[in-house]
Amino acid sequence: MASGSDRHVVLGIITSAHGICGEVKLKSFTEDPEAIAGYGPLATKAGGSLEIQSLKPSKNGFIARIKGVSDRNQAEALRGTELRVERDKLPEPGNEEFYYADLVGLNAETPDGQGYGKVTAVHDFGAGDLLEIQLTGTSKTELIAFTAETVPAIEIANGRIIVVPPVEDEEEDK
């Protein structure tokens, strides 16, 4: 998930505390899930940093020990904390690959070249990724399913994506 204009990429999230000794449950978004522990200290949205000391697989992710966290209260306070890294610390993506953070700020155009808006965020609410697009000339945003059908082209080098806007229901207009 990526949002805003910062150049950080979210690598994982702390979902809850685990046990009474300060361990946390962690969900990793990295291609190799265990690689999250190899990035060194990870930034938090609040401006701090956390370092993963140990990581062991569990049913829905990992059980992690975070440096300096030694009891359940400290672990509970970390619930929902996104673990981030600066975009430039990640390897360059391969051909036709990209990081979601690279989509934020791109112009969105319709297939016929009309301006549609600007990508402001990429969300994953569990049922599939969504692009949040601020529509041109308005403060209104719209969520678009991030699929090959609705986003047939991604041109990061050209600063744009092509989107097929949802068809409005004629009944809605009446």
Domain with CATH 2.40.30.60 in the chain: 2-89
- 98 pLDDT band (50/70/90 cuts)? confident
Q: What is the mean pLDDT of residues 6-24?
A: 91
CATH 3.10.20.30 fits domain 2-89? no
Q: What is the mean pLDDT of residues 140-149?
A: 94
Domain with CATH 2.30.30.240 in the chain: 103-167
Of 51 and 8, the structure prediction assigns the larger pLDDT to 51
Q: Work out the mean pLDDT of the chain and round it to a whole number.
A: 89
Return the beta strands (E) in 19-159 as ranges. 23-28, 42-43, 49-50, 52-58, 61-66, 82-86, 107-109, 115-124, 129-135, 141-145, 153-155
Contact predicate 143/123, CB 8 Å: yes
What is the structure's pLDDT at 91?
84
Which residues are CB-contacts of 69 (< 8 A; sequence separation ≥ 6)? 22, 24, 75, 78
Contact predicate 121/106, CB 8 Å: no
What's the fold here for domain 103-167?
SH3 type barrels. (2.30.30)
- 6 pLDDT band (50/70/90 cuts)? low
Structure tokens at 64: 């992690």
Q: How many CB atoms lie within 10 A of CB 49?
A: 13
Classified as helix, coil or strand, 47 is coil
pLDDT at residue 10 tops 60: yes
Contact predicate 165/116, CB 8 Å: yes
Of 169 and 70, the structure prediction assigns the larger pLDDT to 70
Whole-structure pTM value: 0.71
Q: In whole angstroms, give the CA distance from residue 15 to residue 50.
A: 15
Residue type, 13: I
